[in-house]
């Protein structure tokens, strides 16, 4: 049995922890915040439950489908009604790709973050919340991980890093191990830039629909101020009757240009953009919420095989940097794959 440290309790880190603990390895997950699941994030406000990062998931492999639909409890799963339409820079909208719309889109009645909670409940591993790991130290036969404030944890036989690539780079720059190996891993991760993106939630005391009763609309030419608009009311149990909650995700370029704007300014811009897209018929805003995602999703992809040399001293990687886009199933798959590599090397 190995002792394994996992940095990050997003989808990839929790999937790896679950898989490894199933094989009786001793696993400790370190998460810098109070919440889990990373961008598979949900909030509650005024009777609404909403997904304010990743909006849904589509299992894209048999392994991920097995995990979600068979291994984990699935009574909370809810299939999202409606298709995804498209719109361009001028706001012209049209039905989306029939093939893409034919496959089911899923979340949970209590929010997409339920996925992480289910992995924690089903797994036999330790989770340390509000534990920011700032560096690693490789000894001859083991690792220790250093927390902000000076506390060290270990020894561990293996370490898995799952944060967004820029955060893993900062951690590696503050680590002690083979200088050549650290330099190589930093180079791999630095090749992956990330988008900044604002999510804005707009609540109305009225029942609203999107064109064609769509669930969501996506900007295909990336030239509109909005990148995405969805109707949270299409998810069972998320929005009370008689209300509407629209989730607007702003264009990454626009988000970067307005990164330091105040929340009221971001909300006003989102309302104006959504109102224009929907024909200038929006009612008065009831309440709003916003979230700035500094590492919303990668704008490029690293190759996991380029990290293989680090496994020789027990260091592994997973996360959306190795997917090339922010997708929950992809992150899950990288976590499961990392766990499988660690098990094979055991």
Kindly report the CATH number assigned to the domain that includes residue 280: 3.90.660.10
Q: Which of 95, 53, 88 is nearest to 276 (CA)?
A: 88
Do residues 319 and 306 share a domain? yes
- Burial of 247-269, coded b for 16+ CB within 10 Å and e otherwise, reads bbbbbbebbeebeeeeeeebbeb
79 vs 100: CA distance, rounded Å: 15
Do residues 14 and 102 share a domain? no
**What is the model's pLDDT at position 143?**
97
In 252-304 the beta strands, taken as DSSP E runs, fall at 287-298
**How many angstroms separate the Cα of 309 from the Cα of each of 289, 316, 341?**
44, 9, 12
Give the count of domains, the chain.
2
| Burial status of residue 170 (CB atoms within 10 A of its CB: 0-12, 13-18, 19 or more) | middle
Do residues 186 and 266 share a domain? no
Do residues 293 and 341 share a domain? no
Q: Which residue range is the domain that position 337 belongs to?
A: 3-34+129-192+300-345
Of the residues 298, 313, 335, the one at which a domain ends: 298
Q: What radius of gyration do the chain's Cα atoms show?
A: 21
- The gap from C-alpha 276 to its chain's centroid, in whole angstroms, comes to 29
Residue 155 and residue 142 in contact, taking contact as beta carbons nearer than 8 Å: yes
Q: Which of 197, 183, 214, 204 is nearest to 86 (CA)?
A: 214
Residue 6 and residue 342 in contact, taking contact as beta carbons nearer than 8 Å: no
- In terms of pTM, does the model score above 0.85? yes
Q: What is the 3-state secondary structure (H, E, C) of 209-222?
A: CCHHHCCEEEECCC
Q: Is residue 162 part of a domain?
A: yes
**What is the model's pLDDT at position 60?**
85
**What is the model's pLDDT at position 338?**
98
83 vs 103: CA distance, rounded Å: 10
Residue 164 and residue 196 in contact, taking contact as beta carbons nearer than 8 Å: no
Do residues 186 and 314 share a domain? yes
**What is the model's pLDDT at position 209?**
95
344 vs 346: CA distance, rounded Å: 5
Q: Is the peptide bond before 155 cis (omega within 30 degrees of 0)?
A: yes
Residue 135's H or E segment, with its range, is strand 133-138
Q: Residue 331 belongs to a domain with what CATH number?
A: 3.50.50.60
Output the six-digit token pair for 164: 């967004």
**What is the model's pLDDT at position 213?**
81
**How many angstroms separate the Cα of 186 from the Cα of each of 190, 192, 201?**
6, 10, 36
16 vs 343: CA distance, rounded Å: 11
Residue 18 and residue 123 in contact, taking contact as beta carbons nearer than 8 Å: yes
**What is the model's pLDDT at position 73?**
96
Do residues 28 and 173 share a domain? yes
pLDDT tens for the chain, 346 residues long, are: 799 999 999 999 999 999 999 999 999 999 999 999 999 999 999 999 999 999 999 998 999 999 999 999 999 999 999 999 999 999 999 999 999 899 999 999 999 999 999 999 999 999 999 999 999 999 989 999 999 998 999 999 999 999 999 999 999 999 999 999 999 999 999 999 999 999 999 999 999 999 998 999 999 999 999 999 999 999 999 999 999 999 999 999 999 999 999 999 999 999 999 999 999 999 999 999 999 999 989 999 999 999 999 999 999 999 999 998 889 999 999 999 999 999 998 7
């Amino acid at each position: 049995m190995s002792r394994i440290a996992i940095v990050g309790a997003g989808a990839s880190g929790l999937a790896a922890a679950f898989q490894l603990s199933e094989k009786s390895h001793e696993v400790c997950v370190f998460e810098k915040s109070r919440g889990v699941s990373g961008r598979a994030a949900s909030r509650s406000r005024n009777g609404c439950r909403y997904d304010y990062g990743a909006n849904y998931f589509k299992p894209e492999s048999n392994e991920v489908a097995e995990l979600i639909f068979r291994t984990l409890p699935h009574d909370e799963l809810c299939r999202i009604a409606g298709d995804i339409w498209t719109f361009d820079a001028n706001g012209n909208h049209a039905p989306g790709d029939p093939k893409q719309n034919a496959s089911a889109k899923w979340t949970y009645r209590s929010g997409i973050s339920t996925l992480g909670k289910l992995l924690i409940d089903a797994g036999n591993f330790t989770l340390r919340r509000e534990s920011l790991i700032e560096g690693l130290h490789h000894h001859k036969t083991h690792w220790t991980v250093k927390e902000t404030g000076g506390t060290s944890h270990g020894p561990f036989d293996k370490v898995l890093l799952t944060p967004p690539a820029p955060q893993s780079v900062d951690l590696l720059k503050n680590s002690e191990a083979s200088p050549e190996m650290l330099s190589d891993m930093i180079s791999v991760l630095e090749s992956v830039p990330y988008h900044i993106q604002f999510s804005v939630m707009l609540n109305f005391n009225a029942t609203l629909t999107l064109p064609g009763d769509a669930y969501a609309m996506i900007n295909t030419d990336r030239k509109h101020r909005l990148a995405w608009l969805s109707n949270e009311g299409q998810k069972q149990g998320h929005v009370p009757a008689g209300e509407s909650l629209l989730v607007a995700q702003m264009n990454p370029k626009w988000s970067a240009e307005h990164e330091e704007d105040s929340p009221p300014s971001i909300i006003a811009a989102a309302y104006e953009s959504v109102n224009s897209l929907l024909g200038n018929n929006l009612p008065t805003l009831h309440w709003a919420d916003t979230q700035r995602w500094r590492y919303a999703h990668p704008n490029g992809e690293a190759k996991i095989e380029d990290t293989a040399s680090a496994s020789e001293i027990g260091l592994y990687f997973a996360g959306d940097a190795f997917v090339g886009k922010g997708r929950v199933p992809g992150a899950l798959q990288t976590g499961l794959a990392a766990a499988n590599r660690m098990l094979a090397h055991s």
